[in-house]
Amino acid sequence: MSSKSSGLLFYIVSRILLIIPMLLILLTLIFIILRVLPGDPVYFIVSPQAGEHIIEQTRHELGLDRPIWEQYVSYLMGVFRGDLGKSYITKDNVWSIIGRHLPITIELATCGLFVAAFLGISFGTFAAYKSKSWFGVFNTILSTIAYTMPVFWFGMILQILFAIQFRVLPATGILDTSLSITRITGLPALDALITGNMRAFVDHVARLILPSITLGFFISGNINRMTHSNVLKALNEDYVRAARARGIKERVILFKYALKNSLIPVITLLGMNFARMLSGSVLTETVFSIPGMGSLLVNSIFRRDYPLVQGIIVVYALLISIVTLIIDIIYAYIDPRIRL
Amino acid sequence: MKLLDIKNLRVYYFSEEGVVKAVDGVSLSLNKGETLGVVGESGCGKSTLGLSVLRLVPYPGKMVSGKIFYNGIDLLSLSDEEVRKLRGKEIAMIFQNPDVSLNPIMNIKEHLVEAILTHEEIDEREAVEKTEEILGKVGIPKNRINDYPHQFSGGMKQRIMIALALLLNPKLIIADEPTSSLDVLIQAKTLELLRNLKEEYGLSLILITHDFGVVFEESDRIAVMYAGHIIEIAKNTELYDKPLHPYTQALIKAVPTVTPEEQKLNYILGMPPSLLTPPKGCRFYARCKYAREICKFKEPKTATVGREHIVKCHLY
Amino acid sequence: MEDIITTINVKKYFPIKMNFLQYLITRKREYIKAVDGISFSLRKGETFTLVGESGSGKSTIGKLLIKSLELTDGKMIFEGKDITRVKGNELKALRRKMQIVFQDPYSSLNPTMKIGDTIERPLKIHKICQKRKIKEKALEMLENIGLSPAEDFYEKYPWQLSGGQRQRVAIARAIIICPEFVVLDEPVSMIDVSLRTLILDLLIKLKQQYDLTYLFITHDLAIASYISNTIATMYLGKIIELGSKKEVLASPKHPYTKALLSAVPIPNPKMKRKKIIPKGEIPNPINPPTGCRFHPRCNYAEEICGKKEPELVEVSKDHKVACHLC
Ligand SMILES: Nc1ncnc2c1ncn2[C@@H]1O[C@H](COP(=O)(O)OP(=O)(O)OP(=O)(O)O)[C@@H](O)[C@H]1O
Ligand SMILES: Nc1ncnc2c1ncn2[C@@H]1O[C@H](COP(=O)(O)OP(=O)(O)OP(=O)(O)O)[C@@H](O)[C@H]1O
Ligand code: SF4
Ligand SMILES: [Mg+2]
Ligand SMILES: [Mg+2]
């Protein structure tokens, strides 16, 4: 690669091109797995007690009577034309179903990410800095609790505390039934802001707080540990000692030397978790009755809604590719030794 | 007037295998404007000694006893913040290992500017100018100040470390093998730069090195270390003419010269003792040609022979 | 004697980092010309020493030869085979024959590995000797290299060692598998003189025993004179003088080599020698001077020197110089 900037462009393009074979493999796999799994989608649409005729008719309508390879080819053709098909159950376009569930998941994942990053990185860093004080011990306990505690349970505790006991925050849902938000971008918070609907905005954001904390706290455990151990290691590096010998302030050493040098693995972990959160968090969504991607996926698998499951997978794959691409770009930004 | 006075310093590393007595009862003083060369076996505690002066001995190292006076102030009694203000500004260190002593994700300009702005209240533009000037002096071209450490050669990094140490005109520089990866011409220029600073600002220098050419050319006095002890200190020429300690004698004989002919070099047979379990008597006993019975059991006292010539050996 | 490695007009350019905006504006890529057209051969069994200016590309050549850097241009031949672009299994086989001791013993040792494991690793990777003999061999190597008691050092971590001790570990790791070709980049710069001689002698002994070839990089001309068969001087990405040790040290021809030799500090406080220090600044490998790269600093420079680049030509047997006046 010749120069950094032209290299970057080349890199991004090649990464995007790589998505195509990846999608192909993924879809083939999921196509096979779905069809190998026991259970016939037709019976989720019409009752098994219905007449043979009706069942066959439905099967025909869904195209499930065609040979497998024919279904496969026509589905793939559809995908590469941008058509994900229609849900077997609701007959809605898969894109529009996902379009209804994805935005709230993105919001939740983003907020969860911020909570996790803030809690994990700040506590981890400070604990490494004060590793010999009581805070170090406290933090070890805290981070262990964070990722061993059942999410379900933690979410409920928060609900009981803040929604039922103190009544400061709403317990469930994403918007009060008396309010509504005009859809523009799809992201409720953003749309509420754009349309100037402040009441809806406040209500919506308030409802995001508890689930975000639930999700973020859980993930912060790992982030915390990783930050802690990396910062601790970096603080023992020779360049830190050399910086101290120049009289650089401890605060600067902690952030600019130790933390920044430790950030790469932490960001990888954050990115991976973000991708995971984007695929929905069934438990959190269930506890807080949020209509997100997690419950959508679980339901569609349960009902053998092939097009919907496949569609969700396509969207995940795209999102994950974008997230990892962004992570790589952040790497190169932080560490000059990494050339894209 | 003594700038630095180290009294009976002991620095031990409390490692899992045991206590490494890296510096074990060292006394040393340095006058204003003086260059003290420190030579000695690899692993005998030279770097550790240098680090102690800045109170930067790494974990699991600890200063066990002794005192270090800088300009009459007891360094060990200062608070962390007070020591921090001295570091870089009053006492600077050039590290032995330039390759890992620069922050890999900061470019060279950031390193230098940061150091200036930490200690001086000037604006950034001035700091950048100063940076370019000092880098020019050590031979790093202006248009490379935005490069990152991994883009420089070993010797260039070493010169950057030197620039970082000289930046704020400290009174004392502890230079740990400052020119080990420089070619002799750049080395000569760098040493000249240091010499000029000595004349101009009365800079004092502790010069740790394995290069006897450099030590003899640059030092006023030379201290020889062996296994955690200082075993001889003398004036430059005196040490050359009249090395007293058997180790010093052997060491000087082992120095190679540049010659197109085949040369046969002497070396000192045997290995230095482990610092985990140093021998009870003289630490050089096992390798010494002149060893006597007493050397095995009793640690020699430090004797002063003639003016300012100190030696730690039973022969004197 | 046959040649083990030959390089033909080898170049290594490092692109300069620019941000997107700079790139849009200048549209021109600039390079650090670290190694800029170098041809030489190493004969089997010899010690070929590179000396020269700091930043002139010595380490880069070392890394190119053992294929840890890709060359920008030129050709490399190892044991009669073109290895310019070898990859995969062939490269792995090549790695077994070539080792390097990096200039910096601090960053090249894995901090999480004990010294014993570090030294044993190459034996394991290349499956050199029987499993039960591995430790024995490692301990023997440690003892040889002066890290005794070997059992103690076997269990230590790199950060527990002094500079010179780490350098010795790096040397031990490289020569334990008896490769055919070893690049030694300032391998003894942090080791005291007495021990240094011991290690140099060990290197010489191993060389004779196993018919190894060394590319030795050093700034210490005394070491160069002790260990080399051939010495090459580098200046700003070029070899400017190359010859047998005797020729180069006894009758240096290039003004830069002469200056270099004059500036060697003498370990005798009473002897002062006039050092020839070339005037001017150390030039920049991004846009090196035209003609002879040394001409702006050379005391003998004539008009042609700034115009035409001198070739490395033979001036006498076993002695090549790149200077218009020789
Ligand atoms: N962190 C550590 N833990 C345990 N032992 C250590 C540690 N650091 C250094 N040592 C030991 O302390 C001794 C002195 O080390 P020091 O780095 O001061 O030596 P040195 O004289 O500078 O050697 P060199 O010339 O090779 O750099 C060495 O024997 C080394 O093994
Ligand atoms: N990874 C890199 N990226 C950019 N420039 C580099 C890189 N590695 C080396 N260089 C540059 O290439 C030139 C030659 O470097 P090299 O390390 O080969 O020098 P050297 O002769 O070994 O010097 P020294 O004796 O100081 O170690 C230097 O200008 C250096 O800054
Ligand atoms: S070619 Fe000319 S400039 Fe170059 S070294 Fe020789 S005399 Fe000097
Ligand atoms: Mg040292
Ligand atoms: Mg080098």
Chain segment A42-93, per-residue pLDDT in tens: 877 777 777 788 888 888 888 888 888 888 888 888 888 888 888 888 888 9
| pLDDT at site C19 | 60
Q: Looking at the predicted structure, is the pLDDT value of residue A340 above 70?
A: no
Q: Looking at the predicted structure, is the pLDDT value of residue A31 above 70?
A: yes
Q: CB distance from B106 to chain A under 8 Å? A: yes
- Ligand 3 in reach of C259 Cβ (< 6 A): no
| Torsion A320-A323-A328-A331 (CA) sign | negative
Q: If you measure from the C-alpha of residue C245 to the centroid of ligand 3, how many angstroms do you get, rounded to a whole number?
A: 22
Among C52, C107, C165, beta carbon nearest to B43: C165
Q: Which of B57, B62, B91, B103 best probes binding to A when mutated, by most A CB atoms within 10 angstroms? A: B103
Mean pLDDT of A102-112: 91
Q: Which of B102, B144, B153 to mutate to test the pocket of ligand 2 (most atoms within 8 A of CB)?
A: B153
Q: Measured between alpha carbons, how far is residue C297 from residues A47, A186, B155 in Å?
A: 94, 69, 20
Number of residues written out for chain C: 326
Q: Measured between alpha carbons, how far is residue A171 from residues A116, A203, C31 in Å?
A: 21, 11, 61
**Residues 6 or more apart in contact with residue C70 via CB below 8 angstroms:** none
Residue B38: nearest ligand to its CA?
1
User: Is the preceding omega at residue B149 within 30 degrees of 0, hence cis?
Assistant: no
Q: Looking at the predicted structure, is the pLDDT value of residue A287 above 90?
A: no
> What residues flank ion ligand 5 with Cβ within 5 A?
B 153-154; C 59, 103
Higher-confidence residue of C318 and A279: namely C318
Q: Which CATH class is domain B2-90+170-312?
A: alpha beta
Lowest mean pLDDT among A10-24, B248-262, C180-194: A10-24
Determine the residue of chain C that is closest to B208 in CA distance. Answer: C190
A96-301 fold: MetI-like fold (1.10.3720)
Mean pLDDT of C303-321: 92
Which other chains touch chain B, taking contact as 3+ CB pairs less than 8 Å apart?
Answer: A, C
| pLDDT at site A85 | 86
pLDDT bin (cut points 50, 70, 90) of residue C27 is low
Q: Which atom of ligand 1 is nearest to the CA of B51?
A: 18
| pLDDT at site C191 | 86
Q: If you measure from the C-alpha of residue B206 to the centroid of ligand 2, how many angstroms do you get, rounded to a whole number?
A: 29
Determine the residue of chain B that is closest to A335 in CA distance. Answer: B105
pLDDT, tens digit, for every residue of C104-133?
A: 877 788 888 899 999 999 888 888 778 888
Atom 2 of ligand 2: nearest residue by CA position: B151
Residue C258: nearest ligand to its CA?
3
Alpha helices in chain B (DSSP H): 46-53, 80-86, 108-119, 124-137, 154-166, 184-201, 212-218, 236-241, 246-253, 293-297
Q: Looking at the predicted structure, is the pLDDT value of residue A37 above 50?
A: yes
Q: Which of B108, B183, B235 best probes binding to C when mutated, by most C CB atoms within 10 angstroms? A: B183
Contacting B with CB below 8 Å, chain A residues are 236-239, 241-250, 252, 256-257, 260-261, 334-337
| pLDDT at site A319 | 87
pLDDT bin (cut points 50, 70, 90) of residue A286 is confident
CB-based contact B153 C54, cutoff 8 Å: yes
CB atoms closer than 10 angstroms to residue C250 = 12
Residues of chain B with pLDDT under 70: none
Distance CA A54, CA A21 (A): 39
Q: If you measure from the C-alpha of residue C81 to the centroid of ligand 4, how many angstroms do you get, rounded to a whole number?
A: 42
Mean pLDDT of A97-111: 91
> What residues flank ion ligand 4 with Cβ within 5 A?
B 47, 96; C 162-163
Among B42, B188, B211, beta carbon nearest to C195: B42
For chain B, what is the total number of helices (H) and then of strands (E)? Answer: 10, 12
Helix C163-175 and helix C115-125, axial crossing angle in degrees, nearest 10:
20
Distance CA A239, CA B101 (A): 4
Q: Measured between alpha carbons, how far is residue A221 from residues A273, A323, B219 in Å?
A: 12, 21, 56
Tokens of B113: 């500017």
Q: What is the phi-psi region of residue A167: left when phi exceeds 0, alpha when psi lies from -120 to 50, beta otherwise?
A: left
Q: Looking at the predicted structure, is the pLDDT value of residue A4 above 60?
A: no
What proportion of chain A, given as a percentage, has pLDDT over 70?
97
Mean pLDDT for chain A overall? 86
| pLDDT at site B116 | 96
Q: If you measure from the C-alpha of residue A133 to the centroid of ligand 4, how many angstroms do you get, rounded to a whole number?
A: 32
- Ligand 3 in reach of C310 Cβ (< 6 A): yes
* Amino acid letter, residue B276: L
Mean pLDDT of C271-297: 87
Mean pLDDT for chain C overall? 89
Q: Which of A246, A337, A338 best probes binding to B when mutated, by most B CB atoms within 10 angstroms? A: A246
pLDDT bin (cut points 50, 70, 90) of residue A111 is very high
Cα–Cα nearest to A3, from C17, B188, B199, B207: C17
CB-based contact A4 C106, cutoff 8 Å: no
Higher-confidence residue of A184 and B49: namely B49
- Ligand 1 in reach of C159 Cβ (< 6 A): yes
Q: Looking at the predicted structure, is the pLDDT value of residue A1 above 50?
A: no
pLDDT bin (cut points 50, 70, 90) of residue C25 is low
pLDDT, tens digit, for every residue of A157-179?
A: 998 888 888 887 887 877 777 77
Q: If you measure from the C-alpha of residue B75 to the centroid of ligand 1, how many angstroms do you get, rounded to a whole number?
A: 22
Between chain B and chain C, how many beta carbons pairs sit less than 8 Å apart? 204
CB-based contact B95 A238, cutoff 8 Å: yes
Cα–Cα nearest to A260, from B199, C44, B103: B103
CB under 6 Å to ligand 2: residues?
B 150-156, 181; C 14, 32, 34, 54-60, 103, 285
Q: Looking at the predicted structure, is the pLDDT value of residue C210 above 60?
A: yes
ipTM, two decimals: 0.92
Lowest mean pLDDT among A274-283, B38-47, C258-267: A274-283
CB-based contact C15 A3, cutoff 8 Å: yes
Instruction: Give the angle C180-B100-B17 at the CA atoms, nearest 5°.
Output: 80
Mean pLDDT of A89-107: 90
Q: Start-end ranges of CATH 1.10.3720.10 in chain A? A: 96-301
Task: Decide: helix, strand or coil at residue C28.
Answer: coil
CB atoms closer than 10 angstroms to residue B119 = 20
Q: Which of B148, B258, B263, B276 best probes binding to C when mutated, by most C CB atoms within 10 angstroms? A: B258
| pLDDT at site A7 | 65
Cα dihedral B144, B147, B151, B154, rounded to 10, equals 70
Among A1, A2, A5, beta carbon nearest to C19: A5
Distance CA B215, CA C36 (A): 35
Q: Looking at the predicted structure, is the pLDDT value of residue C59 above 70?
A: yes
| pLDDT at site C50 | 96
CB-based contact C269 B240, cutoff 8 Å: yes
Cα–Cα nearest to A141, from A211, A75, A224: A224
- Ligand 3 in reach of C255 Cβ (< 6 A): yes
